[in-house]
């Protein structure tokens, strides 16, 4: 939905809420998609509603460096709320697409990149899991690709995105407690281990 514009609408979950059991439970999916993701969408629409000058910007456009600072943009006191909620929408939209009961393996292009930069998929998986486990507080672990075709695994705080760095997300793990606490409680590492069973790699296929 990165090319969509105000008013933003909650995209349906592309599988049943219980489809990722036992790795991610149905109750967590109900809260995560139907409540948390929806709240970011509703709050983004609310934050943008008074500023018709920003209604023409796409979701990715709202997050692009400097776009909200141009003349005729929403005032500074409104920008933080717009950016935080736009980031929440952007990250969650991709997150739910990167989970599947029938996960896509990385395509040829991504496999080649992972092998050349990490040595093997197993080595990448270990490095990405450690990165996700080390996010302090609420945030994300994101595998992203830059304009030169180089992968980076980065930690994102809160609802930051890789857009300001000029990168495109390829896959990401939500490590906010709301993503795992109902089932895994304080055991974030167990959630990270489990999520690999339903982690899908639908991105980069059109570019091969």
**Which residues sit at the interface with Mn ion, rule CB under 5 A?**
174, 176, 179
Distance in angstroms (rounded) separating the CA atoms of residues 206 and 57: 24
SS3 120: coil
Alpha carbon distances (Å) from 163 to 21, 46, 67, 168, 186: 32, 22, 12, 7, 30
* Nearer to Mn ion (CB atom), residue 51 or residue 90: 90
Q: Which tokens go with 168?
A: 């495109």
* Nearer to Mn ion (CB atom), residue 6 or residue 176: 176
Diameter over CA atoms, the chain: 50
| Shortest distance (Å) from residue 106 CB to Mn ion | 23
| Shortest distance (Å) from residue 89 CB to Mn ion | 11
* Nearer to Mn ion (CB atom), residue 163 or residue 179: 179
* Nearer to Mn ion (CB atom), residue 128 or residue 176: 176
| Shortest distance (Å) from residue 32 CB to Mn ion | 6
What is the sign of the dihedral through the CA atoms of 111, 115, 118 and 119? positive
Residue nearest to Mn ion (CB): 174
| Shortest distance (Å) from residue 111 CB to Mn ion | 27
């Amino acid at each position: 939905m990165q090319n969509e514009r105000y008013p933003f609408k909650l995209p349906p979950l592309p599988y049943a809420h219980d489809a990722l059991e036992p790795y991610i439970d149905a109750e967590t999916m109900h809260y995560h998609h139907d409540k948390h993701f929806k709240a970011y969408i509703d709050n983004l629409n609310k934050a943008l509603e008074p500023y018709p000058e920003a209604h023409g910007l796409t979701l990715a456009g709202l997050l692009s460096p400097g776009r909200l600072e141009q003349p005729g943009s929403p005032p500074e006191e409104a920008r933080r709320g717009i950016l935080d909620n736009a980031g929440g929408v952007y990250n969650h939209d991709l997150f739910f697409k990167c989970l599947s009961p029938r996960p896509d393996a990385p395509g040829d292009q991504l496999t080649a990149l992972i092998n050349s930069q990490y040595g093997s998929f197993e080595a990448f998986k270990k490095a990405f899991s450690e990165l996700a486990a080390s996010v302090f507080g609420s945030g994300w672990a994101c595998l992203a690709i830059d304009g030169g075709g180089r992968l980076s695994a980065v930690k994102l705080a809160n609802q930051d995105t890789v857009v300001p760095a000029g990168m495109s997300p390829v896959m990401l793990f939500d490590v906010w407690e709301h993503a795992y606490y109902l089932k895994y409680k304080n055991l974030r590492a167990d959630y990270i281990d489990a999520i690999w069973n339903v982690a899908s790699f639908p991105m980069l296929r059109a570019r091969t």
